[in-house]
Amino acid sequence: MLETLFAYPRFLGTVTLRLIAAAALVVGLPLPLGVSAALVAVTSLLLARRSPYGTDGADQMTLIIFVAASLAEMIGTPRARELFLWFVAAQACLAYITAGVAKSVSPVWRDGRALPGILGTNSYGHRRIGQVLACHQRTAWILGWATIVLECVFPSALLGFQPLTYVLLAAMLSFHVAAAFLMRLNTFFWAFTATYPSILFCALRS
């Protein structure tokens, strides 16, 4: 049955359904929020099952958000919706601090080789910037440690100190813009910045 569903061009119907559900969420088409979120979640699972290769943290974050949103809307109470916002905020903080800690124990990140190496690749590279950083190891070291520190301290955005929350969100937003431009990680921008309203909500409630 899955082979029948996944066959081309039949699978384009699933992609089209995903697009309609996403449009309903963005522009407010006459489709219940819970149904739209559930359709995006289910089609995300189908996409991952059909092509398990090449997915990344942005795909995982998107799936987590829409599955949680579907469950919250299924319950339909104010408490469930508030718990959903806290869950998304916590998930974002967990993702950032996990990435930061992983980088902090990596020798290539600690000595500044990571960014020139990444930007020198074909998949995630930007040849000119990669060459510049390779020639300026001190700058590469500073940028590498700035990334580590920013990711590790990001959970402090939930402490309730509003200036700190805004600074961290602005810094991480700039980080994602740079990653989208230099490394073509544009899906990370949308998946992770989608969690920022939840972080703001929780920070203001702290």
**Mean pLDDT across the stretch 124-131?**
86
Domain parsing of the chain, residue ranges: 78-205
Residue 162 tokens read as 């509003």
Q: Which residue has the higher pLDDT, 123 or 65?
A: 65
Distance CA 180, CA 108 (A): 22
- Alpha-carbon distance of 112 to 52, in angstroms, equals 32
pLDDT tens, residue by residue, 151-197:
999 999 999 899 999 999 999 999 999 999 998 888 999 999 999 99
Structure confidence at residue 141 (pLDDT): 96
Mean pLDDT taken over the chain: 92
What is the model's pTM? 0.89
At 123 the pLDDT is 81
The predicted pLDDT at position 193 comes to 95
Average pLDDT over residues 105-131: 90
Does 54 have pLDDT greater than 80?
Answer: no
With cut-offs at 50, 70 and 90, classify the pLDDT of residue 48: confident
User: Three-state SS for 126?
Assistant: coil
- For residue 28, the model assigns a pLDDT of 78
Provide the token pair at 206. 């702290």
Mean pLDDT for the stretch of residues 119-124: 85
pLDDT higher than 90, residue 32: no
Q: Which pLDDT band, with edges at 50, 70 and 90, does 142 fall under?
A: very high
As a whole number of angstroms, the longest Cα–Cα distance in the chain is: 56
- Check whether 125 has a pLDDT greater than 90: no
Q: List alpha helices for the chain, DSSP H.
A: 2-6, 12-27, 33-50, 57-75, 78-104, 107-110, 114-119, 127-135, 137-153, 162-183, 186-193, 196-205
- pLDDT confidence of residue 51: 85
The pLDDT assigned to 53 comes to 81
Looking at per-residue pLDDT, the higher value among 141 and 33 belongs to 141
DSSP, collapsed to helix, strand or coil, labels residue 71 as helix
Q: What is the percent of the chain with per-residue pLDDT over 70, rounded to a whole number?
A: 100
